[in-house]
Amino acid sequence: MKNFLRKFHAYSAMFFLPMAILFALTGVLYICGIREDFMAKKQEFIIKLDQRPQDLQKYVLDFLKQNELKIPSNTELRKFKGDMQIMGSASYVVMIKILDNGLNLQTMERSVIGEMILLHKAKVGQVFVVFSVIFSIFLLLSYFSGIVILAKKHQKMGVVFFILGLVVTFITAAVSL
């Protein structure tokens, strides 16, 4: 059993190490104030219209083509915050807000760091979100297997460090709330 736990602990840790690095790096960046629009290429267009377009999706796509702007990979219009609609993906998005006298159209092509922040925040496709949940479960299992592996040899020191970590976590959380 102990041999199985050692192998599980070692192999799962190596498999999920890239994910751990991604989450640690993007977590620190987010704490430091770097958000998903970091170094993004943004453009904004105020389009004056006498009347609202019948087919907003077609109108936006035509506008993008006429102005030689990038066409998003997903051109389906989706509701976003408030009265805004979007089309695109995490990497490149077109945001459309209907104004009284026209449209406010914004494009944003995110940097790699911006995309990584979106991954961390789970504001991406379901495949990565599911993998993130699996990573979280295996992270807990990896800690548990590590505790079991070291339980007999270093039991007292393990308990001391666990209690120390628990106290520091609760104190820093309480002071910060």
- The tens digit of pLDDT for each residue in 92-130 reads 999 999 898 899 999 999 999 999 999 999 998 899 999
- CA–CA gap between residue 99 and residue 127 (Å, rounded): 35
Q: Dump pLDDT digits (tens) for 22-64.
A: 999 999 999 999 999 999 999 999 999 988 888 999 999 999 9
* pLDDT recorded at residue 112: 95
Residues 109 and 101: beta-carbon distance below 8 Å: no
pLDDT at residue 6 greater than cutoff 90: no
Residues 106 and 114: beta-carbon distance below 8 Å: no
Q: Which residue's entry shows tokens 């509701």? A: 79
* pLDDT recorded at residue 85: 94
Its sign, for the CA torsion 68, 70, 74, 77, is: negative
**Contacts (Cβ under 8 Å, ≥6 apart) of 80:** 86, 95
* pLDDT recorded at residue 107: 97
Q: Dump pLDDT digits (tens) for 128-159.
A: 999 999 999 999 988 887 777 777 677 778 78
Token duo for residue 77:
């219009």
Helix (H, G, I), strand (E, B) or coil at 96: strand
Share above pLDDT 70 across residues of the chain, in percent, rounded to a whole number: 98
User: What backbone torsions phi and psi does residue 138 show, to the nearest 5 degrees?
Assistant: -70, -30
* pLDDT recorded at residue 104: 95
pLDDT at residue 66 greater than cutoff 80: yes
* pLDDT recorded at residue 32: 95
* pLDDT recorded at residue 175: 94
* pLDDT recorded at residue 52: 85
Q: Which residue's entry shows tokens 């460090």? A: 161
pLDDT average, residue stretch 66-73: 95
DSSP string, 2-32: HHHHHHHHHHHHHHHHHHHHHHHHHHHHHHT
| C-alpha closest to that of 115 among 125, 107, 105, 106 | 125
Token duo for residue 126:
């379901």
pLDDT average, residue stretch 65-89: 92
